[in-house]
Structure formats: C-alpha cells, structure tokens
Amino acid sequence: MRDHNWFKLALTFKGSVIPAIYKRVIFCGSFGFFISILDYLGVPVSFTNLDGVVSSIVLGLLLVFRTNTAYERFWEGRKIWGTLVNNIRNLARLIWVAIDEKSLEDRKAKENNMKLLVAFAVATKLHLRSEGVNSELESLMPPARYFKLKTMNNPPLEIAFWIGDYFQSQYQRNCLGLYQLNALNDVLNSMVDMLGSSERILKTPIPLAYSIHLKQLLLIYCLLLPFQFVDSLNWATGAIVALISFTLFGIEEIGEEIENPFGHDPNDLPLDAICATMRRNIEDLITLSPSASSFKDDNQIANIN
Amino acid sequence: MRDHNWFKLALTFKGSVIPAIYKRVIFCGSFGFFISILDYLGVPVSFTNLDGVVSSIVLGLLLVFRTNTAYERFWEGRKIWGTLVNNIRNLARLIWVAIDEKSLEDRKAKENNMKLLVAFAVATKLHLRSEGVNSELESLMPPARYFKLKTMNNPPLEIAFWIGDYFQSQYQRNCLGLYQLNALNDVLNSMVDMLGSSERILKTPIPLAYSIHLKQLLLIYCLLLPFQFVDSLNWATGAIVALISFTLFGIEEIGEEIENPFGHDPNDLPLDAICATMRRNIEDLITLSPSASSFKDDNQIANIN
Amino acid sequence: MRDHNWFKLALTFKGSVIPAIYKRVIFCGSFGFFISILDYLGVPVSFTNLDGVVSSIVLGLLLVFRTNTAYERFWEGRKIWGTLVNNIRNLARLIWVAIDEKSLEDRKAKENNMKLLVAFAVATKLHLRSEGVNSELESLMPPARYFKLKTMNNPPLEIAFWIGDYFQSQYQRNCLGLYQLNALNDVLNSMVDMLGSSERILKTPIPLAYSIHLKQLLLIYCLLLPFQFVDSLNWATGAIVALISFTLFGIEEIGEEIENPFGHDPNDLPLDAICATMRRNIEDLITLSPSASSFKDDNQIANIN
Amino acid sequence: MRDHNWFKLALTFKGSVIPAIYKRVIFCGSFGFFISILDYLGVPVSFTNLDGVVSSIVLGLLLVFRTNTAYERFWEGRKIWGTLVNNIRNLARLIWVAIDEKSLEDRKAKENNMKLLVAFAVATKLHLRSEGVNSELESLMPPARYFKLKTMNNPPLEIAFWIGDYFQSQYQRNCLGLYQLNALNDVLNSMVDMLGSSERILKTPIPLAYSIHLKQLLLIYCLLLPFQFVDSLNWATGAIVALISFTLFGIEEIGEEIENPFGHDPNDLPLDAICATMRRNIEDLITLSPSASSFKDDNQIANIN
Amino acid sequence: MRDHNWFKLALTFKGSVIPAIYKRVIFCGSFGFFISILDYLGVPVSFTNLDGVVSSIVLGLLLVFRTNTAYERFWEGRKIWGTLVNNIRNLARLIWVAIDEKSLEDRKAKENNMKLLVAFAVATKLHLRSEGVNSELESLMPPARYFKLKTMNNPPLEIAFWIGDYFQSQYQRNCLGLYQLNALNDVLNSMVDMLGSSERILKTPIPLAYSIHLKQLLLIYCLLLPFQFVDSLNWATGAIVALISFTLFGIEEIGEEIENPFGHDPNDLPLDAICATMRRNIEDLITLSPSASSFKDDNQIANIN
C-alpha cells in the first residue's frame, strides 16, 4: 500500500510545480525543436564542448541552496505560528487560573479577552495576506472594537494593546498580582514578536541579486543545451531539453513557492486550520472551572488534588 | 569485535529501509529486464547519452537535502522530548522542595501532582500517536479526572490546566510564594510549548511540491537508466538498475521514515522508554524527604549541610 | 503572467550583479581573445589537461559556501532589525499602558519617550551607515538633546541612556512598579543588544584569508580557461571565457554585496522603510487611550471588556 | 616549524581512525587481490562500466552529512558542558556573595554546597559513562550522602535535589531573599537541563535506518571496485582498493567516534579536565572573602570600591 | 575602482595563507619535479588511472566542511564578544542609572566598578591569549586588586566576583532594590557565560581523528598527482602539482587559522579594538549625568522629558 501511495504521490498534479512552470518548459522544448530544424537544414548549430559554461555542479549547488533557504523560511514561519499557538494556550490558561473574579462580570471579561487572543491570531493571518478586517473577526469582539479595528494600519497591534490594557486594569483592581502581570505581559510581548517575525519573512524575500543571477544562469544553461545535444539526439532534442528544463525550473519554482508561506497555495501553511485549533482549545478551556480564582473554598481544593 | 559489529549492522534487515522499498526496487529491476528483452529482440532502445537528463549531482544534492531536513525534524523532536524530561524533573523537584506542607494531606497532594507531570508526558505521547486516553493514564490520576479526560479534544492541555490550577490554589493558601508561583508557571508554560512543538512537527511535513518533485525526478532517473545501460550490460541491466534504484529509493525512504519521529517504528523516538524514565525519576524523588518545606527545624538543616 | 515576470526578472539590470562585475568579465574575455590570437599565430598555447588544477567541484563548493555565509549575515541583519521593531512596539505599548499619569505633563513625557524609541532606531541606522546625526532625528527629540547627540561617539547608546533614565525617574516618582521597571529595562537591554549585533555584522567581514584565497582560485581558474578551450573553440574562446567568468564572478559578487546589508544598495535591507513603519505604529498607538493608567474608573473598564 | 607539525600530525597513529578500521581495509584489499587472481586465471571478472552503481557524489554527500551530524553532536555535547561550567561558576559566586552568614557554621555549609556543585558535574560524568558512584565523589560530600547516592538510579538528580533543598532552607531561615532563591533555582534548573541534554545525546544515536543504509552503500561500493579496476591495475588492484576503502571507511569511522563524545577515547571530550577546572575555580573562589554577606561594615566596602 | 580593489585584494600577501603553506607547496612541487626526472630516465612512474583513489568530490566536501566548521567557530567567537560588548554597555547603563548615590563617594565607586567591567573584558582577552595580567589592567583597578589578580588562576572570574560583591553590598546599603540586584546579576552571569564560551572555543579544536584523516587524504591526493600527470605534462608536472597543492592546502590552512580566533594573527578577531570601544563607550557614559539616581528633584525630571 505504501508503494501504491508512493507512485500516486509522484504522479500528483495539484500541489506540484507543474502548473507554474509548464510554459517555461514548453518554451525551452520549442527552442530545442527549432534548433533541430536548423540542424536538419544544415545550419552549423552543433557545439559539443559547451557543457562547462555553466557547470552543472555550480548550478546544482545554487539551486539546492535556493531551495534550502526557502525551506528554512517556510519552517521558520511554521515555528512562528507554533509559538503563537503555544503563547495563546499559555496566556489563556493563565488568564483563566490567575485573574481573580470578584463578580460574575469578571468571568465574562475573562472570556472576552480569551477570545481576543484568538482574534489576535486571526488578525495576524489577515494582515499577512493583505486582507482587510473581515467577518471572521466580528464574532470575536464587541462591535465597537470591530469598527475601530477597521480603521487601523496594523490591526493585530491594536488587539495586543487592548489585551495589555486589560491586564493593567485588572492589576489596578487588585485582581492580579504585580508579578503575574509581568508574566502575562511577557507572553503578550512574545505574541507581538511573532507578528513582527511573520512580517519579516513576508517582506524580505531572498536578495534580488541572487534571484536574478540564478534565473540568468538557468536561462543560459537551458538555452545552450540544444547546441550540445542536437548532434547526438537529432529530433529528440526538443523533448530531452524540455525534460531537463523541467527538472531545473521545478527546483527553482519550489523555492519561489515556499519562500512566502502565508498565502492560500496548497504548499502554504494551513493558517486557517491553526486558527481553528486555537479557537477550539480556548472553547474547551472555558468549559473547565478553575478551583483557585473562583469561589470554592480551600478545603475542597485540597480534596481534589 | 568492532569490525564484526560493523558487518553485522550492515547486513541488518529489521530497522533498515529494505522492507519499505523492495517493491519499488523490484519494479525498476523488472523494467530494466523488460528493456533488455526488447534490446535482445532488436528493438532500438539504447540511448547512451541520456545521463545528463537528471544530473546525478542535482539528484544527489536534493536527496541529501531531503535526508538532512528529515533528520533535523527527528533531532528537533528528540530535543523537544529532552526538554520535556528536563521540565518535569525540575518541576517535580521544585514542587517537592518549595511547596509548604501544612498537613499530611498536603504531601499527598504534592505526590498526586507530581504524578500528573508524568501523565502530561504520557498524554502527549498518546495524543501525538492519535491514540485515545487509555489505561496507561489511569494509574496516574483520580478516576474522576480520568473520565473527564476521555471527553477532551486535547488531553495534555487539560492536565496542564489542572497543574496550573493546583499551583494557583497553593499560592492562595500561602503554601507558595508569588515569585515561586511564577517560576513554577514558567516551567509549566515550557511543557505546553513542547506539546505545541511536537504537534508542529507532526502536522507539517515537508512541502508537498518538494516531495512530489523529488519523487518525479527519482522516477525519471530510474526509468531512463535501462536505456543508457542496456547496450553495455545486456542481461545484467535489470540487476544493476535494481541495485542503483535501491541506493536512491533507500535514501529517500530514510527521509520519509524519520520525518515523523513520534510513531512505533524501529527508527522512531523511544517515547515509551522516555516516559518510563520520567516516572522512575519521580518515584526516586518521592523517597527523599525535603528538609525545607517539611517539619524539621533549622538547626538540624545546618548540621546536614 | 507568472512566466512573463520570470523572464522580466531574469533580464533585469538594476539590482543585478552586472554593473559590479562587467569590467572583470571583459578583462577575462579579452585575455581569452588574446590567447586565440596567439594560437592563430602558431604559438603553442593549448593545454587541454589543465581542467583539474582548480577543481570545479572545490571552486563551486567554496563559492556556494561564500554566498551561504553572506546570506546568513544578511538574514541575521534582518532578524536583528525585526527584533528591534518588536522591541520598540512592545516597549511603546508598555510605556503607554503601564506608566501612571499624575498630570497632563506626564502624558506628554510618555509621548516624548515613545518618540525617542523611534529615534533610537533612526540613530542606529545612521550610525551603521557612518552618517552623522542629521535632521531625521531633529523632529524626534528636544533641541537640547539633539545638539548634545551631535557630540557623541555612539548616539544610539546616548538615547538608550535617556530612555533608561526616564524609566528610573518614573519609578522613583511611584508612577511605575519596581517589577515593571525591570520588564521595561529588559526590553531596553534587548534594543542595545540589537545595536551591538548590527555593529558586529558591519565590522567583521568574512576572514581576510578566505576572501583572498577565493579570489586567487577564481583568478587562476579563469586565466587557465583559454589554454584549455582555445584548441576546440578557436575564435569563440573569448566569448565563452567571458560567459564562464560572468557566472563565477557573479556568484562571488552576490556574497560581497549582501555581506554588509545596512547600506543604500538595491540589495540591502530597507532600513528607511522599517524606520517609517515603526514611526507609524507609534503614532497609531498614541491615538488610542489606555483605560488603565489614565483617569477612567474601574467600573467603566469592566464594562468595556 | 608549522610545516613540521603538519607532517607530524598527518602521520600520527594514536587518535587517528586507523586502529578502528584497519581490519575492514585489509578485508577489502584481500578481496581486491582475490579478484586479481581470478582475473589472472582467466575468469571474466572485469566490468568497467559499474562506476555509476553507487554514485561517488551521492556516497560523498552521505558521508559528509554523516560526519557533519556527528560533529554537531560532539559540539553540542561540548556546549552542554561549557554551559555546565558557566552555571557552576555563576552559582558558586552567587552562593558565596548572596547567602547571609549568621554564624561560622553557615560559611561551612556554603563551602559544602559549593563542593556539591562540583559533585553534580562529576556524578553527571560518571552517569554518562555508565560508571557507578566512586571515590571521586567521596571527597565532595559527607559520607552519609555518599552512601545514599550509591543506591540511586540517577545520582546527579539526587545531588540537584540536595542543592535545591539547601536553597529553600536558607530562604526559610531568612539568609536568602525570595527573589534570589528564584535566581539560584533558575541556574540549578539549567544544570539539570544540561544533565538531560547530555543523556539525550548519549541515548539517541543517528537513526538506525540511516546508519545501516550508509554501511550497505559503502560495502557495495568497495566490493564493486575490484571488478572495475582489475583490467587496468592488474596486481595493484588489492593495494588501490585498500587505499580507497581506507579513505571512505575512515570518514565513516570519524562519525561513529565523535557521535558519542562522553567516553574515554582520545577523540572524546576532556570531561576529567573540565571537572578539575571547575574544582579549581571553586577552590580559588573560597580563598576570597565576600564583603557583602560577611561581617565587614559598609564604610569599609565603600573604601574598597 | 571596485575592480581595482578586487585585483589588489586577490594579490595581497599579508593576511593570505601563502606564508603558512608555501613550504608544503614547494615540497609537493619538488616531488612532482623528481617524478618527471624519473620519467625522463625511463623509470615507469606513469599511472593515469589513479584519479579515483581519493575522489575529488569527497576531498572537496571534506575541505569545505572543515572550512565551514572553522568559520562557525570564528563567527561564534565574534558573537560571544559581541554579547560581551552588549552586556558591558547594558550593565554600565544600569549601574549609572539604577544605583542610588547617597554621597559623592558613591559616584566614585560606581565609576570604579564601571571600569571593572572593561577590566573583565581585558582580562578575558589576556586569559584567552595565555598572557599574564599586565599593565593594560593596571589603570582599571586599585593597585591592591591588581596585585591580588596576578596570583589567580582565572583573573576574569575574580573580577566578576568583585563586581557581584559590589552589587550585593549596594543592595544591603539600600542603594539598589532586590529586583534590580537580580537584573544586574543576570547580566553579570551572562558575562561569565561569555568567558566560559570563549574558553570552550579555545580549548576544543576540531576532533583529532578528523584533523588527521583530512591531512592524510590531502597528502595521498597530492603525492599521487605526479604519477597521473607526468605522462601528459612532462617537465611542467612540478609546477602544476604545486599549483594544485596550493589550492588545496590553502583551503585547509584557512580552517586552521580561523579555528582559534583569539590570537594576534591578521585573520583573528580585533579584540584590542573591541576592548578600546568598550572603554570609550564607558567614558562617554560617565560624562552624562543621570537625572534619576543623583540629587535632582522630580519636577526637573518631568520638565526634561
């Protein structure tokens, strides 16, 4: 069965790089075919000693370096969102356990702010995709805030401000110790760090000079191929050149696709699913009642543990 | 003796990649044999200048990059569980030493919560393997909690909540200073981070485009081999092609096997053994009596040190 | 459209390495042409077995290692500035939320110090570019400080001192708790760390021995090329040698360009844009009023959340 | 003189991999010699087109990846022990400076616990080498504790417990502030982390599948060599095959040797020397008298500084 | 101009590896010349099929891995000293701002201890270079301490003790809050960590087995070269062999030179310049007067900000 999957995966179209590169491949193949026509017509187009011009070792190393770099960005993006999940889980647990409830309204405020944590993640997602504040956020905050948010340059920063403001006000109401205020703020800082790190990956692609030079080498390499092969391959030149350019353009394209992992492509990070998981974790947590900060007495606690 | 082991290991079957790839290898070998039959029958199948189509340098670099990436995930998984071990050891020691005991019941509560630490690790293990809450966890917590746990989406998060709730309640009973509450919560946060990091490795394989393109290149490479070799190797073509495809599929398969290190395969992390070690460390610790938080007087302490 | 962009990018001139290397490429091409003249005149200049002298594998590996290292510096530089953005966002939020306002002047002082955070980033940028304190900084601080700053060796350090001094004085006026003072100082320390890390990248290029040896190998490699090729390529020698030297010098040049990412080149980090973003974030924040540290009463806060 | 050393080092036997691999090399050489006999006897054993079966690029990349990975483990092990040294130095300084002395016995207790820090490192060393608690530890702690230690599964954890217990008891005697208790416990946690990290490196070798597959490729490669070379090298086949297998087995062996860096081999970490350095640093420190926590008056301190 | 610099740098002698390797290169060249003499005399020394014995791919990968590893150590060393600079800047600022001055003597003590920070860096530098305590340190501390320092095994540790002792005594005089004492101690701990990390790089070279095996392969490779080339190159053999050995020994030598980056070589870190920068930063800081901890009143502070 494993082997069955192996072949099935090897022949998958959706998610592969083929849709992105087939035009370039056809272009190279056609150029190869054109050269074989010239060869057939007796034009002297065969140069068999050109294979050192762009050394396949150098090109291979550059391509793999390109893919490697892009993968590291992809994986760093994933780590950032993993850290965001961890932060939100920890912050939600700390809010639920550590902030004292003096009235029923306090519990409501806690729940609202735990929802704001999810809203932070959703707003970050939308911000990274250059999508405006939309209905996904509407159910996670009061309408007044929702409309305020629509006017901001950087909505997640605004939400972080609200959460930090809530912590500070709970501290001033003596529902939260000073030391715990700091602990909560540390996790909130880490959430803002994750926003900034995502923006960093989004806004800083691989240096232009590198990107251009690699494309130039690829182009030179592929366009020189027919001249080398036409003597021995004749009419098959076009097909073989297309195959070779497919392997090389494919590797470069992987780099381009995973370099920015925050979009909607099949190869991007499943940000929607991650946000949904956070939301479910928070809803689960709300079903549990903390023994410490609510109205149970100490003896009861000692019995449970 | 060392050399003896070397050869023994080289010929090991269990734990090697052979069981996973032999079908693909036989397929390629058969295809090679089929081509030699065609060659024997005079069909023109020999093309000796195809060896540049998939450059062995490019393929080699991609394969090694694949293995490298998978190994990094394996090793990151190991580090995560190492950190979990460290966290649980530190948290157990801090609970044992730092939480004041006002009655004998308090010591019992401490022991119960130290068991919950192990339960967190076990629940994480089961969660990562998509196995439900089972009897492994039953002995580590009261029945009421055990049944509650069976209903949750993410059992380890629930256990973390119980532990955090215990800390907060001890703080409110004045058995734990505010600073130390925070220190304990920091380690607990780190445990939840490790859960999230494990989930990250589990749920985010290498990008699909990469995985597909590598399989395509491997397939093209192996299927072109017989055409190159049939002229010189004749009937040996099948055997040699099988051997070559064995070396290449083997490297790719290693990547697939160690990419997700949380399963039950021989190449996966020994999570059962790690959990057992944690349990033993905690049981060892319980046999020692802390001089500080229990009822000994200060002079006695000064004498010991 | 994607393919259209691909070709357009491949043929881009600005931002590519061509302006930097074309003279070296022409030099090598001319040398190649000179050798073909000698060959034409019957001078025995053809040595076909020289291609192992500088192994193209070794040269390729060294070039890619060079690029890799330079890219890591570029990316580390970007991370440093990303962390600086995060620090300034977090510090601004904490100042805005956590420092108590006893009078309207206090709010003004908060705003001034939030501007100093941006001034720190701008001063770091100017310091890294060896540009003096200029008008960009003038609008971000009182004139007295601006003129004082013009006399310092390391302006950002001075600004950090002012910010730290402000925190300490707010603590002594009881507008800031001791713990929070420390939390603020921790973030400020991190900002000074980022200054130091940027200086480290700026002032420590790749070791001289490495840089020299790579240039020597490149030169030997390119100057030996004509002797190998003149026999088979004749008058095309110059062109082909130019093409090969273009691919190799180009890779080395990328390394040189991105090694110091703090300048004004198209391939450097967009420090001006990053500073502008920070400024906009701070200005956005000032439009929001914190519920906690200003004069609103607690009930009102509970209603909002 | 440098060149003299260079050649001397190149010809060193002790510490090199020769002792570990010479049998395998002789085996391969003998096999090569056996093939040349068969060739001499007219058996058709020459196949010159086998050199692509195990591509030397793929094998080279795998070997270097193997060495690279092993070196990273070696270096990580070194970092762990470096951190342990740092932790012990810092913890000793903090104990010496920060814990108040109310009587002469208190100073004695401080010295005893600073010795326990060294004992932790020594016990970790012995634990990693699977050596029991021995006389090295006897001089570093009271006899009662020494005998208790002999009965434990994980002696370093026990020592960490004693140290933590000492901190807690000093806090309860008001010789140590609560906040400093936390700072000391943080460093102690880091020491336990280093124990866990060392165990992680020790107990998790490179995945079995990788290790086996590499050995299989090496074996296939070396055993196919004689068939390729016998035609051109005749009786020298054995010698050359031995030389080639020496280079390759040597690289693999380096990986095996440095993968677990905690043993007694010449290539392992100098743990004994590191432990001795720690001990000397602690003894040096004890010769200095802290002005703060002992009985000197404040004026005197102000004069010194 | 850039190209001019390029060629100038390529031909630089000082700082290049030539002085270190020319003897080995001459040795190999002479050996090559000796073989051509034997060839001329008719001794059968030509073996053209030896080029696979030490595969240039494997050798190239090992050499690049060697350089890579050494560079990582160089760069880690630079990071360590960068962190040391950051720590000293932060600690100086915190001392200057946070420690209360009750008398003029207190300010003097602050200045003395800020000088001790520089002394720590200088002492670390001398310690790493195995140079004794010298006059560079004399101006940075009172004579009594200077002479005491001359008797210690590890002078920087002693200085760290003095600084920590100063912090503790200021805390006991109520010039420093407990929380800030800890913040200062954290940075001091980091300085001691940097000392330990530098020692780690200094005392743990690349594993001996690796170093030896690489030298052996290089030697085998270079000594086999003349036998391969003598047939085609005749009297040029010596020159070409010298050129090849120059490229390879050069790469290895770079690794050796930058592996320990703390010495006086042109390729080592500019530790003297770094120490001078620290000193200048501290002297700059002393020219500024902190508003918070000195005798200015609060209103004045509010006006400034």
pLDDT digits (tens, 9 = 90+) for C177-208: 878 888 899 999 999 999 999 999 998 888 88
Asked if E78 and C184 count as a contact pair (C-beta separation under 8 A), the reply is no
Cα C101 to chain centroid, rounded: 38
The number of beta carbons lying within 10 Å of the beta carbon of residue D299 is: 8
Closest CA to E210 of E56, E28, E65: E65
pLDDT 10s digits, E179-235: 888 889 999 999 999 999 999 999 888 888 888 889 988 988 888 888 888 877 778
* Residue B282 structure tokens: 């905690």
Q: How far apart are the first and last CA of chain B?
A: 48
Residue B150 is given by DSSP the state: T
Chain E residues within 8 A of C204 when measuring between CB atoms: 78, 269
Residue B2 maps to a domain = no
Please judge whether C218 and E10 are an interchain contact, meaning their C-beta atoms are less than 8 angstroms apart: yes
Interface test with B, best of D48, D104, D172, D210 (most B CBs within 10 A): D210
**Run of H or E including B65:** helix B56-98
Question: What pLDDT does residue C107 have?
Answer: 87
Assess whether pLDDT exceeds 90 at residue E8: no
Question: What pLDDT does residue A9 have?
Answer: 79
Residue A300: half-sphere exposure toward Cβ, Cα within 13 Å: 8
Rounded Cα distance between B125 and B130, Å, is: 9
Q: How far is CA C113 from CA B215, C142, C160, in A?
A: 57, 11, 10
Asked if E118 and E275 count as a contact pair (C-beta separation under 8 A), the reply is yes
The number of beta carbons lying within 10 Å of the beta carbon of residue B234 is: 11
Question: What pLDDT does residue E76 have?
Answer: 93
Residue B130's region, left for phi above 0, alpha for psi from -120 to 50, else beta, is left
What distance in Å separates residue C201's CA from the closest CA in chain A? 17
List the single residue in A90, A269, A305 with the smallest CB-CB distance to B166: A305
List the single residue in C61, C199, C208 with the smallest CB-CB distance to E266: C208
Residue D11 maps to a domain = no
Rounded Cα distance between B57 and E85, Å, is: 44
Please judge whether A168 and C280 are an interchain contact, meaning their C-beta atoms are less than 8 angstroms apart: no
Please judge whether B67 and D204 are an interchain contact, meaning their C-beta atoms are less than 8 angstroms apart: no
Question: What pLDDT does residue A292 have?
Answer: 61
Assess whether pLDDT exceeds 90 at residue B86: yes
Q: What is the average pLDDT across D132-146?
A: 87
Question: What pLDDT does residue D85 have?
Answer: 93
Q: How far is CA A164 from CA A159, A191, A226, in A?
A: 9, 11, 64
Interface test with B, best of D57, D66, D115 (most B CBs within 10 A): D57
Interface test with E, best of D248, D294, D305 (most E CBs within 10 A): D305
Residue D2 maps to a domain = no
Rounded Cα distance between C288 and C278, Å, is: 16
Name the stretches of chain C with pLDDT < 50: 1, 295-305
Chain A residues within 8 A of C302 when measuring between CB atoms: 103, 105-106, 109
Please tell me the total count of domains within chain A: 1
Residue ranges of alpha helices (H) inside chain C are 2-10, 18-40, 56-98, 104-128, 135-138, 143-149, 155-172, 178-203, 208-233, 237-259, 271-286, 298-304
Please judge whether B58 and A94 are an interchain contact, meaning their C-beta atoms are less than 8 angstroms apart: no
Rounded Cα distance between A146 and C49, Å, is: 74
Percent of residues in chain A assigned helix, strand, coil, to nearest 5: 75, 0, 25
Question: What pLDDT does residue C160 have?
Answer: 92
List the single residue in C24, C65, C208 with the smallest CB-CB distance to E68: C65
Q: What is the average pLDDT across B62-69?
A: 88
Question: What pLDDT does residue D296 have?
Answer: 42
When mean pLDDT is compared over C171-185, D1-15, D182-196, the highest value belongs to D182-196
Percent of residues in chain D assigned helix, strand, coil, to nearest 5: 75, 0, 25
Residue E14 maps to a domain = no
Mean pLDDT of chain E: 85
Chain B residues within 8 A of A57 when measuring between CB atoms: 57
List the single residue in C2, C254, C290 with the smallest CB-CB distance to A20: C2
Q: What is the average pLDDT across A51-57?
A: 74
Give me the torsion for CA of B234, B239, B241, B243, rounded to 10°. Answer: -150
pLDDT 10s digits, B107-155: 888 899 999 999 999 999 999 998 888 888 888 988 888 988 888 888 9
Assess whether pLDDT exceeds 80 at residue E126: yes
What distance in Å separates residue A77's CA from the closest CA in chain B? 11
List the single residue in D10, D179, D291 with the smallest CB-CB distance to E215: D10
Torsional sign, CA E169, E171, E172, E178: negative
Chain D residues within 8 A of E74 when measuring between CB atoms: none
Question: What pLDDT does residue E204 have?
Answer: 86
pLDDT 10s digits, A8-48: 877 777 778 888 888 889 999 999 899 889 888 888 877 77
pLDDT 10s digits, D69-94: 899 999 999 999 999 999 999 999 88
| Domain span holding position A256 | 24-40+52-304
What distance in Å separates residue B229's CA from the closest CA in chain A? 17
Chain C residues within 8 A of E79 when measuring between CB atoms: 200
Residue B107 maps to a domain = yes
* Residue C39 structure tokens: 């060959």
Chain D residues within 8 A of B171 when measuring between CB atoms: none
Going by pLDDT thresholds of 50, 70 and 90, the confidence category of residue D3 is low
Question: What pLDDT does residue C180 have?
Answer: 84
List the single residue in B20, B196, B209 with the smallest CB-CB distance to A17: B209
C-contacting chains (≥3 CB pairs under 8 Å): A, E
Rounded Cα distance between E71 and B7, Å, is: 36
Residue with tokens 């053809």: C46
Assess whether pLDDT exceeds 80 at residue D55: no
Residue E8 maps to a domain = no
Which residue in chain D is spatially nearest to E55 when comparing CA positions? D56
Residue C98 maps to a domain = yes
Please judge whether B212 and A187 are an interchain contact, meaning their C-beta atoms are less than 8 angstroms apart: no
Exposure letters B16-54 (e unless 16+ CB within 10 A, then b): bbbebbeebbebbbebbbebbebbeeeeebbbeebbebb
* Lowest-pLDDT range of A174-188, A285-299, B121-135, D168-182: A285-299
Closest CA to B181 of B97, B118, B99, B115: B99
Closest CA to E57 of D219, B61, A117, A296: B61
* Residue A6 structure tokens: 């192996």
List the single residue in E266, E284, E298 with the smallest CB-CB distance to C154: E284
Residue with tokens 């630089």: E12
Please judge whether E71 and C206 are an interchain contact, meaning their C-beta atoms are less than 8 angstroms apart: yes
Going by pLDDT thresholds of 50, 70 and 90, the confidence category of residue D196 is very high
Chain D residues within 8 A of B305 when measuring between CB atoms: 108-109, 112-113, 166, 169
The number of beta carbons lying within 10 Å of the beta carbon of residue E55 is: 20
Residue D298 maps to a domain = yes
The number of beta carbons lying within 10 Å of the beta carbon of residue A80 is: 21
Q: What are phi and psi of E291, to 5 degrees?
A: -80, -25
Percent of residues in chain E assigned helix, strand, coil, to nearest 5: 75, 0, 25
Please judge whether B284 and D69 are an interchain contact, meaning their C-beta atoms are less than 8 angstroms apart: no
pLDDT 10s digits, E41-83: 888 877 776 666 777 788 888 888 888 889 999 999 999 999 9
Rounded Cα distance between E78 and E72, Å, is: 10
What distance in Å separates residue D61's CA from the closest CA in chain B? 7
The number of beta carbons lying within 10 Å of the beta carbon of residue E263 is: 14
A-contacting chains (≥3 CB pairs under 8 Å): B, C
Interface test with E, best of C27, C74, C182, C195 (most E CBs within 10 A): C182
Rounded Cα distance between B73 and B86, Å, is: 20
Rounded Cα distance between B230 and B202, Å, is: 43
Question: What whole-number percentage of chain A has pLDDT above 90?
Answer: 26
Please judge whether E207 and D233 are an interchain contact, meaning their C-beta atoms are less than 8 angstroms apart: no
Question: What pLDDT does residue A3 have?
Answer: 65
Question: What pLDDT does residue E2 have?
Answer: 60
Q: Which residues lie below 8 Å from residue D43, measured CB to CB, with a gap of 6+?
A: none
Mean pLDDT of chain D: 85
What distance in Å separates residue C49's CA from the closest CA in chain A? 14
List the single residue in B244, B250, B251 with the smallest CB-CB distance to D53: B244
pLDDT 10s digits, A244-279: 888 889 888 888 888 888 988 888 899 999 999 999
Chain E residues within 8 A of D61 when measuring between CB atoms: 61
Please judge whether E298 and C165 are an interchain contact, meaning their C-beta atoms are less than 8 angstroms apart: no
Please judge whether B247 and D220 are an interchain contact, meaning their C-beta atoms are less than 8 angstroms apart: yes
Cα D200 to chain centroid, rounded: 12
Please judge whether D213 and B17 are an interchain contact, meaning their C-beta atoms are less than 8 angstroms apart: yes
pLDDT 10s digits, A112-129: 999 999 999 999 999 999
Chain B residues within 8 A of A16 when measuring between CB atoms: 208-209, 212-213, 216
Chain D residues within 8 A of B284 when measuring between CB atoms: 152-154, 157-158
Assess whether pLDDT exceeds 80 at residue B3: no
